[in-house]
Amino acid sequence: MRNGSVQHRPFFKVLVANRGEIALRVMRSARRLGLGVVAVYSDADRDTLHVRQADQAVRIGEALPAQSYLNISAIIAAAKASGADAVHPGYGFLAENGVFARACKDAGLVFIGPSPQAIEAMGNKAGAKEIMKKAGVPIVPGYQGADQSDEVMLVEAEKIGFPVMIKAVGGGGGRGMRLVSEAASFPDALRSARSEAKAAFGDATVILERAIQNPRHIEIQVFGDAHGNAIHLGERDCSVQRRHQKLIEEAPSPAVSPELRAKMGEVAVAAVKALRYEGAGTLEFLLDASGGFYFMEMNTRLQVEHPVTEAITGLDLVELQLRVARGEPLPVKQQDIKSSGHAIEVRLCSEDAGHDFMPQSGRMARWQVPNGVRVEHALQSGAEIPPFYDSMIAKVISHGATREEARGRLICGLEQLTAFGVTTNQAFLMSCLRHPGFAGGEATTAFIGAHRDELLALRKDAFDTALAGLLLYVTNPHAPSWRAGRSLAATFRLLAKIEVDGHAHELEVTRERDGRYMVSSDGQEHRFELDELNSETIRFRHNGLMDTAKFLRDGDRLYLQHRGIPLAVTDLTLAAPKAAATNGGDGKVRAAMNGRVVAVLVKQGDRVTTGQPVMTLEAMKMEHVHKAGIDGVVAAIDVAEGEQVTAGKIVVEIEAGRVS
């Protein structure tokens, strides 16, 4: 396949057809090359950093991606209006959309990426596997036929043998992907995968693959140019995943030997040359325990995890993209590429790891990044995290001379990062990095599933509850003012009830005559002596140890971070009891997050049992099934398919009753 339709000519202003941290990342390299930069934005992103830091910015539509960041005609019009002569797609949205690449070319714009033909050929998983097979790349056995009927798909799955993987042909990122362990579960998994694929990519077609048990997820970064040059930049290990989406990436992989690296790199470069591919790309492989590797897919774009490759090679991958798009030859040869040290990246996501990684949205009340690590983000204190886009809000990257040094720096960086106001996976990421399995370089794609309970067992002890009670007391505007070394004529006592990450605690806070504080909580007593208190930190002594914690008081809410573990605390002392259970135990099923209704699975009058799926909601590009909290009869359905709902809205009402 030829790639001769890539458009090469000088360009001077780049429109970034994306949002958030990747938009800022592209702008940074473009400006270093002396290029102007243009941002686009939806109504939800009007006041974001990527908009304010661009030379120009153009509104392209409403909040939903289909009405803005996926609106090809609006983006082309924005480029024309701003005078941009090139478009960088970033990753996600239209980055691997051949129609978009062709529309840019037809409009006289340089598309900073491969040709439309290359994108389309590799964007279809079934077709890509055939191309790679002909190029000599090993592939996973499976089915990718045109007959997509339920009956044929089940027969083919049984031929392959369970467990099998269902994959959407049109995309990635874990959407439209299901692991099925037995034939009985296949029909429901197939329906769900198709529904998610249709919503995410506009194409419900899927393929089947043999599920390789406990593999490593290894990808090879490649580049090609218009002059026939092709190189690889080594591998990245992306095995730590949840819901088939990467959370931690590193380079080099602890499981790849120099010999295997050379072999995989040689295969990847051969594929690039066979495609006559131009620009950045990534070949993704599954690596089994015996060292066998199998092609999964090719991403025809920049990857989220590209910073780890930049860290160990010293190359700017966005700059390479821009230079190749201008028709320049790659400035480095394979023999010039040297790897130095080790790099690890984590994806900070606005999600609740303790509740099945449920996406979270809302206001980031305080955002502070640490020193000593690279943080890619587009956040600031007071920024809104909208419910319409991917849950990843930042990337934290460390580099060290050794893997252990990089791991230690990353843990330290995460401990110092502050993200108050929206629940994130910050503590979960630290738990992963500290786990002996990850520390030993043994993590496969089964890592989170195998160790989930351990990883979620975060350090939340009675001391943290006591510290939260103390902070609620000393930051209360009606509390006696604190002064270092000040003694009192009498003691002051406060009885309080607080909620820490969903669990209620009763405690007693006493300020003693010598100025110290006694907090009784969960049957234990903790004595604190305050050394310093300001609007962001508290410094105190406890059992002879001087310690510090960060906090933010916001009305009856307190955000606390002690030794890197964030806690969300609510003062319930004067709060009314909650009127109804949020888990549907009162018969009312409530939306767990802001999102769009993609499937109503019951009808009014249907009998349902506890745990039965009743509605599917899509939020931040993932489907979330909502289930009945009681046995009974569906009395009302309060939403319709396609409707956008807010968190807490009642979607289905069930009248209690025995189901016969």
In tens, the pLDDT along 282-334 reads 999 999 988 999 998 899 999 999 999 999 999 999 999 999 999 999 999 99
Say what the alpha-carbon torsion angle 548, 549, 553, 556 is, to the nearest 10 degrees.
Answer: -120
In the block, which residue shows the tokens 């060290």? 400
Rounded Cα gap, residues 363 and 522, in angstroms:
31
Residue 440 has pLDDT above 80, yes or no: yes
| 3-class secondary-structure state, position 319 | helix
Confidence of residue 483 (pLDDT cuts 50, 70, 90): low
Residue among 301, 347, 366, 511 flagged as catalytic = 301
* CB neighbours of residue 82 within 10 Å: 20
Tell me: cis bond preceding 116? Omega within 30 of 0 counts: no
Please write the tens of the pLDDT for every residue from 332-373: 999 999 999 999 999 999 999 988 899 999 999 999 999 999
Q: Which long-range contacts (CB under 8 A, 24 or more apart) does 571-579 make?
A: 571/472, 571/496, 571/497, 571/498, 572/497, 572/498, 572/499, 572/504, 573/495, 573/496, 573/497, 573/498
Q: What is the mean pLDDT of the chain?
A: 90
Read off the pLDDT of each residue in 403-420 and give the average, rounded to a whole number.
97
Res 521: pLDDT: 83
Q: Model confidence over 519-529: pLDDT tens digits?
A: 998 788 999 99
Confidence of residue 548 (pLDDT cuts 50, 70, 90): very high
DSSP lists the bridge partners of residue 530 as 540
The band of 489, judged by pLDDT with boundaries at 50, 70 and 90, is very low
Helix and strand tally (H, E) in the chain? 16, 39
pLDDT score, position 660: 47
Question: Is pLDDT above 90 for 584?
Answer: no
Helix axes 258-275, 116-123, angle to 10 degrees: 120
Q: Model pTM?
A: 0.84
Backbone angles phi, psi at 364, to 5 degrees: -80, 95
More confident residue, 588 or 398: 398
Residue (of 500, 648, 652, 644) closest to 562 by Cα position: 500
- Say if residue 658's pLDDT is above 60: no
Out of 193-207, 279-293, 475-489, give the one with best mean pLDDT: 279-293
Cβ atoms 321, 278 nearer than 8 A: no
Phi-psi region of 191 (alpha: psi -120 to 50; beta: other; left: phi over 0): alpha
Residues in contact with 452: Cβ distance below 8 Å, sequence separation at least 6, in sequence order: none
| Region 423-431 average pLDDT | 96
Does residue 475 carry a pLDDT above 60? yes
Q: Where are the beta strands (DSSP E) in 243-288?
A: 245-251, 279-287
301 as an active site residue: the answer is yes
Count CB neighbours of 458 within 10 A. 17
Band of residue 480 on the pLDDT scale cut at 50, 70, 90: low
Sort 638 into a burial class: Cβ within 10 Å, 0-12 / 13-18 / 19+.
middle
Q: Which helix H or strand E contains 321, and what residues bound it?
A: helix 317-325
User: Amino acid identity, residue 389?
Assistant: Y
User: Scanning the structure block, which residue is given the tokens 């609620």?
Assistant: 472
Single-letter amino acid, residue 384: E
The dihedrals phi and psi of 357, each to the nearest 5 degrees, come to: 55, 40
Residues 22, 17: Cα–Cα separation, whole Å? 10
Beta-bridge partner residues of 533: 538
